[in-house]
Amino acid sequence: MAEGFVDDENLEAIVTRIEQKSRKIESLLKHPNVDPPDGRSKPVEALKTALEGSILKTRDERCKSANWIVVHRAIMAIKDVDAMLSYLDPEYYDILMKYLYRGLATGDRPTCDQCLKIHEKLTEKAGLGCILRSLADTVNTV
Amino acid sequence: MGRSGGGDDIEGWNRALCSGRVVAFCPNNHEVHIYKFFGEKWERIHVLQKHDQIVSGIDWSIKTNKIVTVSHDRNSYVWNQEASEWVPTLVILRLNRAALCVQWSPKENKFAVGSGAKTVCICYYEQENNWWVSKLIRKKHNSSVTSVAWHPNNQIAQLDLSFTWAFGVRWSPSGNTLAYAVVAFCPNNHEVHIYKFFGEKWERIHVLQKHDQIVSGIDWSIKTNKIVTVSHDRNSYVWNQEASEWVPTLVILRLNRAALCVQWSPKENKFAVGSGAKTVCICYYEQENNWWVSKLIRKKHNSSVTSVAWHPNNILLATTSTDGKCRVFSTFIKGVDSRDSGLNFFPWKGSGSGASGDVKFGEQIAQLDLSFTWAFGVRWSPSGNTLAYAGHNSMIYFIEDVGSSPKAQNVALRDLPLCDILFVSEKMVIGVGFDCNPMIFTSDETGLWSFVKFLDERKIEPSSSKYGSQLSEALGKLYGQSKGANSDTVESSRLRGGAHENCISCIIPLRKPGESVVRRFSTSGLDGKVVIWELDNSIGIPQ
């Protein structure tokens, strides 16, 4: 185990955080008529919420799976990829790319369709360096 | 790009590479052959016969579809395609020696001819007279003009040495001052070649053969004029020039894995070797025994050491390794280094904390844990205040004030990772790597590092048809170049037209002694090319 990773007793806290995140995303996706104050679209806000703090300081696979389900929900809710990328801040590009590869690894048809669609646009925007960073990082996996 | 001279029958591939399915070349006689690719094989479709002597240069314009040829017969022809025939137009160059090279200008309204008459001709078309006029640049060259390059986007010379890797290029001390006199490099085998520039062309003057396996690192000391080489055969040789011959001295490194990189210390009394044995060797000369001794820094690295860099104080050594870390060590050796030389670097090790022997050999001063992947190409800034290295995850790391209060910065690259780094000044860095194009980074007044631009402003032409990639693939096979047979059309259009066509693995300053800012440097890479660059004045170098 690498240093800096949290102990098992903190797993509870991580799970609680994921649950909170999930509720927030669900409410954002369920009430599309109420716009957020800054006028950004709902699915993008949901995706940002999902990506925030999602480098889990744990190697517990159950936590990662639970987190992935939340992010997956947000990714699948994206309809307009171009608009999403123009709203999403560059600091989220690398982490989003990691989740796209996780999505492609599932082999699930609709998930792969969606991930490939985003992957193409994201690579256009963020370059090959983004792919390299997400693939080369074997420590902070998602 | 075309090479002149020699009995090589595939000489003179030219920019026609870009024009699709057709290629023209001179088979080392007075003819020019044009071949076309017919889906399966290359067929000769034209023979251009007009010159009387060997055709020495050829260039095919992209937009206007004109071929210009120059020859030892001192004339030039512009060939225009009219109804499937190539019609020549004579251009009288007004030379009294052979023409040697030619290139169309980027706008293709002019072309330049280099000649053995110490003259360059600039030729342009005069509409009124239906005539190509040659204007001469005289009395500027003292010898034959071997190469011309238009719109020199900083690039002033290019040397096509071999079609294998050229990595680990080093310039001789005299080469660092005025002319590019001598260059040594390892052509990806067990030899080291030394080339000298004889006014007209580069000639191989020495081949250093002693290693049994691939030479992986080379460094040429400036003051003492010694070459050190290291190899996968786990040994090192120090080469000394005695009466025009290079005499090797074996240095037994005591490694059980390949040596990977080498660098002379600033005072040139020591050199450091990084290796695949997770070890760094510090070698120094013992006068009494007439012998190079290798002291090892063991058990500090968890993986291969990919690069070593000496701090200007001759004591500190920075290393990068494939465990992703960058480390700084003390290499203080009793009897070689004076006691106070490295101390100003350790403010926390003042006179109060005991004797100056505190900086023991092999002591780890710092460990930088910024990269999660392989780290490469560590370099100190000229003052030794800043450290930079590249990660294989397309990041470059800058660490300021390494000695006192380290401040680290990560710069994420948009494109492919870097292999090697050069500090041009305290505030400017050039990085080279898998993008085949040097990148400039600078630090602003607040000390924030950022990417500025690519140095080689190449034209990016979208490849409209699949032919482009097929052709370059076929040519790649012909050349034996490792261009990547699977490279898609986007990739091949990215690579086209730059100085380097493959990963750049090495960047070396061509610095005059005592100069603080590097304006000239050379890069070499896996395409077998060594390119000399000069930063023109449009690129302001922050001091």
ipTM of this model?
Answer: 0.83
- As averages over each run of 10 residues, the pLDDT of chain B (543 residues) reads 32 41 73 78 83 85 83 88 85 87 82 85 85 83 72 45 47 44 73 80 85 89 88 92 90 93 93 95 92 93 95 92 93 82 52 50 89 92 92 94 85 93 93 93 92 77 44 48 41 59 88 73 85 79 72
B393 close to B371: Cβ distance less than 8 angstroms: yes
Residue in this structure with the two tokens 């049994």, named with its chain if needed: B212
Nearest to B5 by CA among B137, B121, B99, B68: B99
pLDDT tens digit at each of 142 positions of chain A: 344 455 555 778 888 888 888 988 888 887 655 555 554 567 888 898 888 876 667 778 888 888 899 999 999 999 889 989 998 989 899 999 999 999 999 999 999 999 999 999 999 999 999 999 998 888 888 8
Q: Chain B: residue nearest A91 by CA?
A: B412
The Cα of A138 is separated from the nearest Cα of chain B by a number of Å equal to 7
B58 close to B26: Cβ distance less than 8 angstroms: yes
Secondary structure letter of residue B9 according to DSSP: T
The pLDDT of residue B408:
92
Q: Which helix (H) or strand (E) holds B100?
A: strand B99-104
Q: Do B394 and A129 touch (CB under 8 A)?
A: yes
The pLDDT of residue B398:
95
CA distance B354 to B331: 19
Torsion of CA B465, B468, B474, B479, to 10 degrees: 180
3-class SS at B84?
coil
Secondary structure letter of residue B220 according to DSSP: E
A114 close to A75: Cβ distance less than 8 angstroms: yes
Q: In what order do the strands lie in the sheet with B85-92?
A: B55-60, B66-71, B75-82, B85-92
- Chain A interface includes B413 (CB < 8 A): yes
Phi, psi of B224 (to 5 degrees): -90, -5
Q: Chain B: residue nearest A123 by CA?
A: B414
The Cα of B414 is separated from the nearest Cα of chain A by a number of Å equal to 5
Q: Do B393 and A137 touch (CB under 8 A)?
A: yes
Residue A65: Cβ-neighbour burial (10 angstroms; 0-12, 13-18, 19+): exposed
Chain B residues lying within 8 Å of A94, measured CB to CB? 412
The pLDDT of residue B21:
61
Q: Name which of B303, B367, B392, B413 to mutate to probe chain A: the one with the most chain A Cβ atoms within 10 A of its Cβ.
A: B413
The pLDDT of residue B502:
87
CA distance B439 to B455: 6
Nearest to B393 among A126, A127, A132 (CB): A132
B80 close to B86: Cβ distance less than 8 angstroms: yes
Cα distances (angstroms) measured from residue A52 to each of A49, B24, B56: 5, 58, 63
Q: Do A133 and B393 touch (CB under 8 A)?
A: yes
- Chain A interface includes B487 (CB < 8 A): no
Alpha helices in A31-138 (DSSP H): 42-51, 61-76, 81-87, 93-106, 109-126, 128-136
Secondary structure letter of residue B334 according to DSSP: B
- Chain B interface includes A141 (CB < 8 A): no
- Chain A interface includes B372 (CB < 8 A): yes
Chain A residues lying within 8 Å of B373, measured CB to CB? 136-138
Q: Do A128 and B414 touch (CB under 8 A)?
A: yes
The pLDDT of residue B461:
47
The pLDDT of residue B412:
93
3-class SS at B329?
strand
The pLDDT of residue B124:
87
- Chain B interface includes A124 (CB < 8 A): no
Q: Do B394 and A137 touch (CB under 8 A)?
A: no
CA distance B238 to B230: 9
The Cα of B305 is separated from the nearest Cα of chain A by a number of Å equal to 19
- Chain B interface includes A2 (CB < 8 A): no
- Chain B interface includes A97 (CB < 8 A): no
Q: Do B416 and A140 touch (CB under 8 A)?
A: no
Q: Do B372 and A128 touch (CB under 8 A)?
A: no
Nearest to B337 by CA among B261, B423, B269: B269
- Chain A interface includes B19 (CB < 8 A): no
CA distance B468 to B216: 35
Tokens linked to B142: 């003292």
Q: Name which of B302, B372, B491 to mutate to probe chain A: the one with the most chain A Cβ atoms within 10 A of its Cβ.
A: B372
CA distance B281 to B328: 14
What string of DSSP letters covers B276-324? TTS-EEEEEEETTTTEEEEEEE-SS-SS-EEEEEE-TTSSEEEEEETTS
Nearest to B182 by CA among B195, B191, B173: B195
- Chain A interface includes B45 (CB < 8 A): no
Q: Do A129 and B392 touch (CB under 8 A)?
A: no
The Cα of A79 is separated from the nearest Cα of chain B by a number of Å equal to 26
CA distance B285 to B281: 13
Phi, psi of B411 (to 5 degrees): -120, 120
Chain A residues lying within 8 Å of B488, measured CB to CB? none
Contacts of A16 (CB under 8 A, 6+ apart): none
Q: Between residues 382 and 411 of chain B, which touch chain A (CB distance below 8 Å)? A: 391-395
The pLDDT of residue B163:
36
Contacts of A19 (CB under 8 A, 6+ apart): none
Measured from the Cβ of residue B131, the count of other Cβ atoms closer than 10 Å reads: 13
Nearest to B102 by CA among B185, B36, B26: B26
CA distance A87 to A125: 12
The pTM (predicted TM-score) of the whole model is: 0.67
Chain B residues lying within 8 Å of A140, measured CB to CB? 372
Chain B residues lying within 8 Å of A136, measured CB to CB? 372-373, 391-394
